[in-house]
């Protein structure tokens, strides 16, 4: 299903032009218009799923499969030194477009980006409680 008001549905369908670096029947991979680094790309399913949690398992596998195809090519052809695969869910986590997308962010030595987090501190007791909370 598509969402008539969703910009990524329109881009994925080719109704809004984009710089497409890969396309198949289920996915389109486009260059981000506000790139973190040179070559920053987004894997978009052509179907509308709001986020990771709404994504069916088959589509999740498909997105990873597309990443496995395109990411090595980006690394090689852009001469990148590394790559972050980033996927945001919910406004608190930085999601601004409510259509699932997987970011492929090539990294270059001294590119000035800060995509990693500041490590916190936790005790073994707290880890045990958190583990139990997640497992339920």
Which residues of the shown chain bind ligand 5GP in the complex (CB under 6 A)? 7, 18, 30, 32-34, 42, 88, 94-97
* Rounded least distance, CB 109 to ligand 5GP, Å: 22
The smaller minimum CB distance to Zn ion, of residues 28 and 106, is found at 28
Q: Show contacts with Zn ion in window 97-136 (CB under 5 A).
A: 99
CA proximity to 85, closest of 106, 54, 70:
106
Which residue number is nearest to Zn ion in terms of Cβ?
6
The answer to whether 18 touches 11, Cβ cutoff 8 Å, is yes
The DSSP result for 18-80, as a single string, is --EEEE-SSEEEEE-SS-SSTT-EEEEESS--SSGGGS-HHHHHHHHHHHHHHHHHHHHHHT-
CB closer to Zn ion, 84 vs 89: 89
Active site residue 101: yes
Q: Is 59 in the site for Zn ion (CB under 5 A)?
A: no
* Interface ranges with Zn ion (CB under 5 A): 3, 6, 8-9, 48, 99
* Residues annotated as catalytic (active site), given as ranges: 101
């Amino acid at each position: 299903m598509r969402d008539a008001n969703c910009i990524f549905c329109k881009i994925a369908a080719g109704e809004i032009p984009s710089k497409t670096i890969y396309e198949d029947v289920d996915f389109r991979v486009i260059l981000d218009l506000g790139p973190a680094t040179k070559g920053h790309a987004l894997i978009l399913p052509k179907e509308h799923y709001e986020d990771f949690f709404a994504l069916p398992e088959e589509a999740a596998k498909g997105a990873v499969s597309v990443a496995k195809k395109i990411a090595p090519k980006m690394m090689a052809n852009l001469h990148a030194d590394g790559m972050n695969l980033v996927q945001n869910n919910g406004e608190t986590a930085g999601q601004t477009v409510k259509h699932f997308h997987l970011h492929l962010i090539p990294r270059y030595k001294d590119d000035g980006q800060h995509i990693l987090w500041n490590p916190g501190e936790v005790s073994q007791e707290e880890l045990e409680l958190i583990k139990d909370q997640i497992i339920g």
